[in-house]
Structure 1
Amino acid sequence: MPLVDMPLEELQAYEGRSPKPADFDAYWERALDEMRAVDPQLTIEPSSFQVPYAECYDLYFTGVRGARVYAKYVKPKLPAGAGKHPALLQFHGYSGHSGDWTSKLAYAALGFTVLAMDCRGQGGLSEDTGGVKGNTLHGHIIRGADDHEDQLLFRHIFLDAAQLAGIAMNLPEVDPARVAATGASQGGGLTLACAALEPRVARLAPIYPFLSDYRRVYEMDLAKNAYEEIRDYFRRFDPTHRREDAFFERLGYIDVQYLAPRIRGEVLMAVGLMDTITPPSTQFAAYNKIVADKRMVVYPDFGHEGLPGFDDRSMAFFQAMR
């Protein structure tokens, strides 16, 4: 089989290259305290898009640092007395948005509430309040890397994902014990971060997750496409790599491999072994640290693309919560 990374047996034992900050756990406890102190100022308004078997809403909440965050909210119309039902959180790829309403409706037809978040400052309606020192030319991974570690933008986006999970669990129609999450690429990374920071998430299906093992990406000469901003940072701000170690340690705060041990929900993850966008080893660095029940579905001949059958498998996995 062709290889772009390690052989599978090495991937299954790989533990990552990027450094973990010594105060990582304290960092995230402090971040969660900040999130919990925020008044979400939740607003829910009917959307202009509607279907007969579900209600579609525009949902906004206030996240950390005052940003207003948007999510599509789809609530199934169920018979009176049906009781509480499951919910699914959906997270999108890097630079994108929450997608069309139609992509939520299959789950609504199955009796799931669906919430799909727009990441702040990307292609949707959520707000990026900014206000950091250093580079903001492009790239959310490095946003805030030259400022205090609490200013990292992905810190805030990870907290938005966890906050949305808490909002879902408090919706009157939702069973808080049956909330799941899914997404591909950045959405896969946010799925892991969400379930780590809100460990009540019961099931998660991340697909080739982004935002893991940054140093490995750089050393593989794959700091391009989604990770291009890492190379760009060195070229513009540290051309002799004088601060390389400190830079990768700073990114360690927003490396999902180090959040992964916090996950308590059951995991179904997919990886393509020909992936040159989010290299397989970076994905296994996170997967191998998950201590909860987990399964990895391996696609040997596939890269960062649609993985045949995995959407159906994920849907069956989530329906089993019912």
Structure 2
Amino acid sequence: MLFEMSLDEMKKYSGSSPKADDFDQYWEEALAEMKNLDPELKIKHSDFQTDFAECYDLYFTGVKDARIHVKYIKPKKIKEKHPAVIEFHGYGCKIEDWADKLQFAARGYSYFGMDCRGQNAGYSEDRGGVSGNTRNGHIIRGLADKAEKLYYRNVFLDAAQLAGIVMEMDSVDQNRVGVFGYSQGGALTVACAALEPRIKKAAPVYPFLSDYKRVNQLDIDNSAYAEIKDFFRKYDPLHNKEKDIFNKLSYIDVQNLAARIKAEVLMTTAIADPVCPPSTQFAIYNKLKCKKDIIIYPDFGHEDLPGIRDRHYQFFNDL
């Protein structure tokens, strides 16, 4: 990628963005808020069904009173407690078709796919004062307000809350839960495993939402990170508040959460990624203190990566 580091440099890179002095306190208080919630869990059969799995629409109440939607697939013939996997989707998307997820039920796992609050055509709501969903602008939502108002604070908590709900289900073995996702989903995989330490395995693919200061220094105005530069152009053109802005963004910078993870991590990075620069991904990987491995695609960008689904299948095989 133009202007990126060499691979050798990236393998030693630990990030350029700050970490707020009260970062850990911020997240402990956020988790306390989440744990005091009544999730008001509701599970109903979906219109889509198969002969070997039951498909449900699951809803729970997250922080700020938002109702979060999850696709839930449970194998029919497995009566004992069994493993579960949780998936998080990419930026501005939603959890896709049921049929794509049936592989998990076929192997005897329950599957949960969370729609991020207020994004695209998903069914999770964002109680931000307006009806309907949004496509972009989520990184900077709340940036001009208190750090507790940051949009991704709430989404990270949704991910951790869902993991806790899954682990409390009678049919799920709480010691055998894994998480995965691509791009934004990769970032939420990191955040979920960091905020819910009982996660056993995590497989983030080219994770988003990392090392914002580094991102802002690179020439990637056409990516999902462009909103940061746009925020400066409109609200702080002389960068007088740059230090405060990046300090506030540090609360939702997943590289700062990475050291909390206890799960085994299999990370995937594409070296030619123009959307989520690989150096920002290595900033996460190099801060992991858990058992870890990384798959590197030298000639690929932010795209479908051949063989990665098979590797994930094998990685989650011994949940």
Please give the range of the TM-score, normalised by the shorter of the 2 chains: over 0.9
Deviation, structure 1 residue 244: 1.1
Q: Does 1:118 align with 2:115?
A: yes
Rounded Cα–Cα distance in structure 1 between residues aligned with 2:44 and 2:209: 33
Structure-2 change in CA distance of 1:138 and 1:109 (3 Å): closer
Gaps of 5+ in 2: none
Aligned to 1:32: 31
- Which amino acid letter does the alignment assign opposite residue 82 of structure 2? H
Please list the CA deviations of residues 105-163 of structure 1 after superposition, one character each: whole Å capped at 9, or x if unmatched. 0111011100000000102000101159xxx9941101001111101000000000000
Q: Does 1:286 align with 2:284?
A: yes
Q: Does 1:275 align with 2:273?
A: yes
- Is the Cα–Cα contact under 8 Å of residues 42 and 60 in structure 2 kept in the other structure? yes
Rounded Cα–Cα distance in structure 1 between residues aligned with 2:151 and 2:212: 16
Please report the RMSD computed on the Cα atoms of aligned residues, expressed in angstroms: 1.4
Deviation, structure 1 residue 221: 2.0
Aligned to 1:89: 86
Aligned to 1:299: 297
Aligned to 1:150: 148
Rounded Cα–Cα distance in structure 2 between residues aligned with 1:103 and 1:244: 43
Please list the CA deviations of residues 204-236 of structure 1 after superposition, one character each: whole Å capped at 9, or x if unmatched. 110000000001011012243211110110111
- Is the Cα–Cα contact under 8 Å of residues 4 and 273 in structure 1 kept in the other structure? no
Rounded Cα–Cα distance in structure 2 between residues aligned with 1:270 and 1:137: 25
Between the two proteins, the alignment pairs up a number of residues equal to 315
- Is the Cα–Cα contact under 8 Å of residues 4 and 276 in structure 1 kept in the other structure? no
Q: Does 1:245 align with 2:243?
A: yes
Aligned to 2:4: 5
Deviation, structure 1 residue 7: 1.1
- Is the Cα–Cα contact under 8 Å of residues 93 and 184 in structure 1 kept in the other structure? yes
TM-score, length basis structure 1: 0.95
- Is the Cα–Cα contact under 8 Å of residues 3 and 273 in structure 1 kept in the other structure? no
Deviation, structure 1 residue 4: 5.1
Q: Quick one: percent identity of the two aligned structures?
A: 56
Rounded Cα–Cα distance in structure 2 between residues aligned with 1:320 and 1:61: 29
- Which amino acid letter does the alignment assign opposite residue 260 of structure 1? A
Structure 1's consecutive aligned runs of 4 or more residues displaced over 6 angstroms after TM superposition are: none
TM-score, length basis structure 2: 0.96
User: Which structure 2 residues correspond to residues 157-168 of structure 1 after superposition, within 5 A?
Assistant: 157-168=155-166
